[in-house]
Structure 1
Amino acid sequence: MTTNDVDFDHLLRSNLERVFNERNDDKRRTAIGELYVEEPVMYEPAAIVQGREEISRVAANLLKQFGPTFRFVPDGVAVGHHGLAHLAWHAGPADGPVAVTGADVAEIEGGKIARLWVLLNAPEGK
């Protein structure tokens, strides 16, 4: 698969919905197996997370930490080329307000996420 064949929007939206919004551990692990390479790396502002299982653990902990209606919502369409993709998003409880905004930047190999950078925007007014 060449990077020209990759649907970057579908891949990064699926990552938000099926990994970072999924509360069922088994469904999340299945999605990670489909969306990520064998040994992925995720770069967060304060940590480097290595491996599918650790990415699943981080996603589960985020959802537990922020409550039962917390969700990540894509903003616009993901764009990408030559193996690099970007999707902006916002997150918060279903009934608002927005708690955080940011973007995912992913390096894609063989149609799957190899490396994911989670970039958080500064809070409003800072």
Structure 2
Amino acid sequence: MKKRLTQTLLVAALLTSTHNVFAENLTMNVTTTEVAPAGLQQLIDRHFAIWNNSDAVAREKAFTAVYSTDFFVADYAGLNQGADRVNAAISKVQSQHQGFSFTPAPVEWNHDIARVTWGYGPKDNPYLVRGEDVFTVNAGRLSSARVFLNK
């Protein structure tokens, strides 16, 4: 019995030390911050300029410089993919909230994912509605936006 207990404790100690060494090495190799790619803030600024633009034709012309061809927006109303559907969604949001515009905070970046908090409202109350967009970025273009409303 004493020999079996000693063997069990020895195996447990070996496993524990192996786990700790593995965890130390894993922790040492993980990067928790990443420098945002050059031009990301400008790309995000152009995205919000599109959403604040009331001219649907001008918006669509700006799409190719900002969005990938398969870009989509996922929000509580559904999923809109492609320039025509995204442009229609923007028109719908603008028609429901005349005179409102987006006021974004600076972009935050983490391994191909961008996050922006924003306010949406009229000039006298630009943070009437608050939310957050989470973007994926691919080849220098936004490839998706997931919209979260903070009510």
Work out whether 1:21 is the aligned partner of 2:52.
yes
Work out whether 1:82 is the aligned partner of 2:114.
no
- The one-letter code matched in structure 2 to 1:13 is D
User: Unpaired runs of 5+ in structure 1?
Assistant: none
Equivalent pairs counted in the alignment come to 117
1:81 Cα deviation from its structure 2 partner: 3.5
Q: How does 1:1-126 map to 2 (within 5 A)?
A: 5-17=37-49, 19-67=50-98, 69-75=99-105, 77-96=106-125, 98-122=127-151
Deviates more, 1:3-12 or 1:46-55: 3-12
1:50 Cα deviation from its structure 2 partner: 1.1
- Counterpart-to-counterpart distance in 1, 2:142 and 2:111: 13
CA contact under 8 A between 1:108 and 1:115: conserved in structure 2? Answer: yes
RMSD between aligned residues = 1.7
Higher helix residue share: 2
1:97 Cα deviation from its structure 2 partner: 6.0
- Counterpart-to-counterpart distance in 2, 1:88 and 1:105: 9
Alpha-carbon distance change, 84 to 65 in structure 1, aligned in 2, over 3 angstroms: same
Q: TM-score, normalised by structure 1?
A: 0.84
- Counterpart-to-counterpart distance in 2, 1:27 and 1:52: 12
CA contact under 8 A between 1:41 and 1:116: conserved in structure 2? Answer: yes
Alpha-carbon distance change, 71 to 11 in structure 1, aligned in 2, over 3 angstroms: same
CA contact under 8 A between 2:120 and 2:127: conserved in structure 1? Answer: yes
- The one-letter code matched in structure 2 to 1:120 is L
Where 1:95 maps in the other structure, the secondary structure is coil
Where 2:54 maps in the other structure, the secondary structure is coil
- The one-letter code matched in structure 2 to 1:8 is L
- The one-letter code matched in structure 2 to 1:88 is T
Higher strand residue share: 1
**Which has the larger Rg?**
2
**Identical aligned residues as a percent:** 23
Higher RCO, Cα 8 Å, sep 6+ = 1
